[in-house]
Structures are given as structure tokens and as C-alpha cells.
Amino acid sequence: MDLDALQDQRSDVPGFAIALIRNGEIELAATGVADPDGAPMSSSTPVRIASITKTFVAASVLRLWEDGRLDLDASIDGFLDPEIDSLLRSDGYETEDITVRHLLMHASGMADHTGGGYVEQVFSDPTRVWTPFDQVETLFEDTDPLSEPGDQYTYSDTGYVLLGEILKAVTALSLHQAVRELLDLDQLDLPTLYWDEIEQPREGIGARAHQWIDEFDIFAIHGSMDGHGGGGLVASVEDVSKFYHALFNDQVFVDSATLGLMMAAPGHPSDSPYRLGVFTYEVAGYDAFHHGGFWGVYVTHVPSMDLTIEGVALDQGGYQDLRALMRRTIEGNSAE
């Protein structure tokens, strides 16, 4: 992983970090600085991982399914706050026809509240505290249903916000507590992982890195804007790679068949790249599973190589170059 060369090429990006696990062995690299005061970036520096949180949420839902506490084909209307359900229905969503599985696959017919003017609202009022209802209300105001449930793939942060609501309804816990308990996160040795604005980082864990987009430092944006299931977790690249490695090595689910379900997602729309909480694609001739996060984070697992790689570019502008380096790293490992 020639991360130094990437940093030299993209000196406009404050810093990068990558963690790679292959056959249980971990390799770490980092360059640049994590904050405007010059603190060095490291593979253990926490960052907002944004939509990679969806993998954790989907895995939590599947743990409920394993335990017999949730039917993936159950209609979502019985789990939602009545105000949220009413808002969705008033926008044309027949929530009795949308299932938990539809939400997991991004096949509910639901648009995405983060499209339209949502990001502009967030940047214009960075300290605003957003609720799940606020986010669904934005969907109501800015969009309309896109298809019948199950007909097509449409990526929707709102769908995962609703999954967060379902986790709370079934467990009678807050979302962060439900995810932590269902996935037994405290047993996976992920010291930098915590829920933004809700949980406190463990003692001795360094400050969260500053992340940038279009020359805007997002450090002070309130985490609730992305904190209800579509995103919300903070973690280092090292700990995200460790979670993905554990997930794909049968250390999260009770039954290995559940991982197979997550990877295959029978019934997904035929042209969909999404399964249950993960995207699928091919790299170096191998099937792989991955997810990205809006603030410049990306993780991939290649099962046949037992290889996991996770990285962050501290400015979103460096994201595609980071992904290209990660792909070359996978291809290089495949040739060994």
C-alpha cells in the first residue's frame, strides 16, 4: 500500500489511513494530519463512517431474525411511530406493503431524504439536531414514491432510518444500545467504535478526525444529521476492518447460513448491486462485498482471499483516488 505516494499526489487532502487484514494478519498505514492543529493521522484515529453504519444496522436486524424476534417479510407499519407512518402514507407509501426485507435491500420504492435540499440545510445550520421524524418529513417534502415495493433498487438512507426505528421498537432499547447488544460489539475488541453524539469514546481514545468536503470542515456538524441508522457510527479504519473481517468469518451471526442470506439476498431486484447491508461487485476476478460512506470512507471484503481493506480520505475529494489505490492493493494481493 503506497499511501505516501497518494498523499504526495493529493497534497490537498489533509490525511489518509488504510487497514488491511489478510488471513488474520493486519497491516496498517496512515499519512498526513487529523486536525488543523497538525495532530498526525493514524489507523486508530476515529472518523465518521457514515453509510458503512448500514452494514451494522442490517446485521443487527438479521440477529433479531436469527433469534426469532423479527420476520423479515413482516410489514413495517406495525413497527413505526404512528406519526412517521402517517407521514409516509400521506406521501403515497403503503407501509403495509413494504417489508423489513425491502428496506434492507433498498427495494422499498422509497426515495432518499438526503437528496434534494437536505445537505444544503445541514450545511446552512450545522448545529441543528435532527430526529428520525425530521428526516422522514424531508422525504415527504422533497420526493415522491419511485416504484412499487420490491420492483426496483433505489438507494435510500430513509429506509435505513426506518430500520433503526424497527430495531428500537422490537428491542425496546435505544438504537445504539440495540446495535451494541445484538452484535455483541464489546466482545469484538473495537475500542474506537461509538455512536456519534450519543455514546462517549472510551478513555484513552484520541479525538475524532476532522473530515472535509468542498473546503468545509464537517467536524462541527451535529452527528444527528446522519445518526439514525443510515449512518451514525464513529470508528477507526482499523476497527471497521476488524468488524468486517469478523462479520465475514462467522464471528457475528449465530448461524453461518445468516451470512449467506446477507450475501445472497434472494428476491433482490435483478439489476440491484445491493444485498442486505452490503454492495456486491467483482474485483481481480473475485466476488467481493463493500460499502462506502459519504465523508470519504470505504471498506471491502473479498471472501475467497480472506481479505478485508478499509480506508479513509479526510477530504471527500480524495475518495476516488483512495478507492483506486485500495483496488490496486487487492489486485496485488491476488497475484501473490
User: 91-129, pLDDT tens digit by residue?
Assistant: 999 999 999 999 999 999 999 999 878 989 999 999 999
For 312, the grid coordinates are 479513509
Cα end-to-end span (Å), the chain: 14
Residue (of 322, 127, 113) closest to 231 by Cα position: 113
Give the pLDDT confidence score for residue 194 in this predicted structure.
98
Mean pLDDT of all residues in 39-59 = 98
Residue (of 36, 53, 45) closest to 208 by Cα position: 45
Question: How does the average pLDDT of the chain come out, rounded?
Answer: 96
Query: Contact at 8 Å (CB) between 106 and 291?
Result: no
Residue (of 320, 328, 319) closest to 47 by Cα position: 319
Give the pLDDT confidence score for residue 288 in this predicted structure.
98
**Counting Cβ atoms within 10 Å, is residue 174 exposed (0-12), middle (13-18) or buried (19+)?**
middle
Q: Measured over all CA atoms, what is the biggest interatomic distance in the chain, rounded to whole angstroms?
A: 56
Name the 3-class secondary structure at 189.
coil
Q: What is the pLDDT of residues 256-299, one digit of tens each?
A: 999 999 999 999 999 999 999 999 999 999 999 999 999 999 99
In the chain, beta strands by DSSP E: 15-22, 25-32, 47-48, 194-195, 212-213, 216-217, 233-235, 279-283, 286-293, 297-302, 307-313
Whether the per-residue pLDDT at 335 is higher than 70: the answer is no
CA distance 112 to 146: 10
Q: What is the pLDDT of residues 308-333, one digit of tens each?
A: 999 999 999 999 999 999 999 999 98
Task: Look up the pTM and report it.
Answer: 0.98
